[in-house]
Amino acid sequence: MNKTSCEVLIVGGGAAGLSAAAAASKTARVLIADDNPNLGGQIWRAELGKTKSPQALELIKSIGSGKVQVMNNAQIFAASGTNCLLAETPEGRIELEYEKLIIATGARERFLPFPGWTLPGVFGAGGLQALVKGGLSVAGKRIVVSGTGPLLFAVADYLKNKGAIVAAIAEQATSFNIRRFGLHLLARPSKLAQAITIRSRLLNIPYLTGCWVTKAIGDEKLTAVTLVSGGRSWDVECDFLACGFHLVPNTELASILGCRIDNGYVAVDEFQRTSANGIYCAGEPTGMAGVESSLAEGKIAGLAATGQSETARSLFAERDRARGFGNALNDAFALRNELKTLAQPDTIVCRCEDVTYGRLSEFDNSREAKLQTRCGMGSCQGRVCGAANEFLFGWKPGTVRPPIFPVRMEEL
């Protein structure tokens, strides 16, 4: 078993992790451990070197200075004693020893079950975008983009740019809520300009508010989806469905390390410190507020972890502004109750163990359901069905235990 050590270990190579590394590397030896083959996270994945984002370019320059060690394809799955994490890599297990730890594990998409959602051709919105970034061709494919939030525009714009035929964008939020959210953009000219630019490129694509998918149609693969809006339903032929219902924070690592979790998020103080000694957290695990908030939180965490408290304090206002915008976004695109009624008794909710909505309806909490049906005990370890059950039934997630990801037996 290999072993490496550093002063500051950062788990996660997305916006928050890269920002933390750039700040901490000015005075400390920093190691980024990321489970993807490339840095960039969900935002810049696979295209970090091609991006025109000034923030990304600045981070690339900082990370490329040689002061930051990068370990890709490293899946953190457990802790080993004090100040040491275990990671599975293509070369085998490795111990990562640290003095300070910054958790920047990001978030994953929330999937909500509806009839046909397990058909080949149905993807998460961000998941399909990531696959296309990785080389999947969508040229000439008809795609419906559905769900909620500004991500739908970004995904539709990206897919169209790659040659896809975007048949419709179905947004479950009401037009009133979207207009109200638009008022927040007036105070943020850069975001307003970005929104106008993207929207102008999608003018020929139907944008349907108060609209959502109720059924995916097909035998062996997706051929169409059923949309509903204002009491009317109709079918739209398509090759792919890209649907996204917000994000779920990846808090599993923080949980097994003893960090306090409040309302599904890692609790942190003004310096991004968690309740566990020497551990900081930044980005989506602390709250969904967008890339600007992640960048600010990462920088604060990196500075605070290396004793640069006063410099970190100067960024508090920037972070709080970004968080305020994120809160307004979350309010505007809150999931409607009608989405809880999409699943039918025979609709699969837990894909790993083939557990249906009807079966789960027999139980009062996730623990009972797990004991009787194995719901949440499959290879995804409840990452998909857990968030769905929380929305559908109000069930709180169960206790997290290592390994937090499936690993080879030899690593255990």
- The pLDDT tens digits of the residues spanning 253-299 come to 999 999 999 988 999 999 999 999 999 999 999 998 888 899 999 99
Q: At what angle do helices 15-24 and 54-63 cross, to 10 degrees?
A: 50
Q: Where in the chain is the domain with CATH 3.50.50.60?
A: 2-108+248-329, 111-245
State which residues of the chain have pLDDT below 50: 46
Establish whether the linkage from the previous residue to 403 is cis, with ω within 30° of 0: yes
Query: Do residues 257 and 279 make contact, with C-beta atoms less than 8 angstroms apart?
Result: yes
**Token pair in block for residue 296:** 């600010």
Q: Which of 130, 168, 165, 127 is nearest to 146 (CA)?
A: 168
- Provide the 3-class DSSP secondary structure of residue 126: helix
DSSP state of 390: H
- Provide the 3-class DSSP secondary structure of residue 268: coil
pLDDT at 249: 94
Q: How far apart are CA 251 and CA 282, in angstroms?
A: 11
The number of helix segments (H) and strand segments (E) in the chain equals: 14, 21
For the CA atoms of 399, 405, 408, 410, the dihedral, rounded to the nearest 10 degrees, stands at -50
Of the candidate CATH numbers 3.20.20.80, 3.40.50.12280, 3.40.50.1100, 3.50.50.60, the domain formed by 111-245 belongs to: 3.50.50.60
Query: Do residues 120 and 399 make contact, with C-beta atoms less than 8 angstroms apart?
Result: no
* DSSP track, 326-378: HHHHHHHTPPPGGGGG---TT-EEETTTTEEHHHHTT-SSHHHHHHHH-TT-S
Q: Burial code of 175-189, b = ≥16 C-beta within 10 A, e = fewer?
A: eebbeebeebbeeee
Q: Count CB neighbours of 142 within 10 A.
A: 17
Of the candidate CATH numbers 2.60.40.3880, 3.90.550.50, 3.50.50.60, 3.40.50.720, the domain formed by 2-108+248-329 belongs to: 3.50.50.60
Query: Do residues 389 and 366 make contact, with C-beta atoms less than 8 angstroms apart?
Result: yes
pLDDT at 216: 97
pLDDT at 45: 57
pLDDT at 166: 96
Which contiguous run of DSSP H or E holds residue 398?
A: none
Q: How far apart are CA 137 and CA 33, in angstroms?
A: 30
